[in-house]
Amino acid sequence: MKLVIINYGSGNLHSVHKAFEVVNNNLENPYEIIVTNTPSEILNADKLVLPGVGAFQDCKNAIHKIDGLFESLEQLVIVEKKAFMGICVGMQLLAEKSLEFGECEGFGWIPGEVIKIEAPVDYKIPHMGWNEITYSNHELLINIPQNTDFYFVHSYYFRTKKNENCIATTNYPNPITAAVIKENIFGTQFHPEKSHNNGKKIIKNFLEWEPS
């Protein structure tokens, strides 16, 4: 089984790769983890991970700059329904559009848009640090107690059109989407790769996930 981590120059690629490797090595049947941006290799993947930090538009442009990359993602995730996990901006890209630095189209895989966090003036932006999540039951969140802290760094968030696509929220002080789900597509606003043991649990859950 192959797990591909998409390399399109994202700053957190190394951290994501390391964390997945450590969790994967403890699995009974570990994946072959490949870091690549080559469409032919992506098309052979059983699971996909899309990291991302920085501005939405920059990430999107970086993906589209690589010939055939987006098309291979679409083939694997939308047509073949392989398990996908987006992290931070890698999750925000799933939206229809983002309003960061003007309007920018996303993948459109999950209905909704990425908007600026609205918080009272004494709340610092970016929302940076450890904050607890509450979630609705899902196998991707098993073995994680409610109100567990995860590490967030962001100024924009994904407001999903449908409640059913938002499976976890955090409060700052208003509710902010912390994780999204749609069939085989999973995404976290927080960084599991930087969220210590509970982050590793999320990664393990994703590695063991078999979306129906």
Partner 1 sequence: MLKKRIIPCLDVDRGRVVKGVNFVDLIDAGDPVEQAKIYNSEGADELCFLDITASSDDRETLFEVVKKTAENCFIPLTVGGGVRTIDDISRLLHHGADKVSVNTAAVENINLVAKAAKKYGSSTIVIAVDAKKTGDKSWNIFTHGGRKSTDIDALEYCIEVANLGAGEILLTSMDRDGTKIGFDNELLSTVSSSIDIPVIASGGVGNLEHFVEGVLKGGASALLAASIFHFGEYSIKDVKTYLAEQNIAVRI
User: What residues make contact with partner 1 under the rule CB under 8 A?
Assistant: 11-12, 14-15, 18-19, 22, 53-55, 58, 89, 124-132, 149, 151-155, 171-173, 191, 193-197, 199-200
CB nearer to partner 1: pick between 146 and 171: 171
Q: What's the rounded Cα separation, in Å, for the pair 142 and 139?
A: 5
Q: What's the rounded Cα separation, in Å, for the pair 187 and 50?
A: 9
Least distance from partner 1 to the Cβ atom of residue 197, Å: 8
Q: Listing from the earlier edge strand, what are the strands of the sheet with 156-160?
A: 104-105, 97-98, 112-116, 156-160
Least distance from partner 1 to the Cβ atom of residue 93, Å: 14
From 137, 134, 140, select the one nearest 199 (Cα to Cα).
140
From 111, 96, 93, 117, select the one nearest 182 (Cα to Cα).
111
Catalytic residue among 17, 127, 154, 191: 191
Least distance from partner 1 to the Cβ atom of residue 9, Å: 10
Catalytic-residue membership of 88? yes
Element (H, E) at 152: strand 148-154
CB nearer to partner 1: pick between 46 and 132: 132
Q: Tokens 């209905």 correspond to what residue?
A: 111
Report yes or no: 76 and 206 within 8 Å, Cβ to Cβ: no
Catalytic residue among 88, 104, 113, 166: 88
Least distance from partner 1 to the Cβ atom of residue 129, Å: 5
- Could you give the maximum distance between any two Cα atoms of the chain, in Å? 49
Catalytic-residue membership of 191? yes
Query: Tell me, what amino acid is at 69?
Result: L
| Catalytic positions | 88, 191, 193
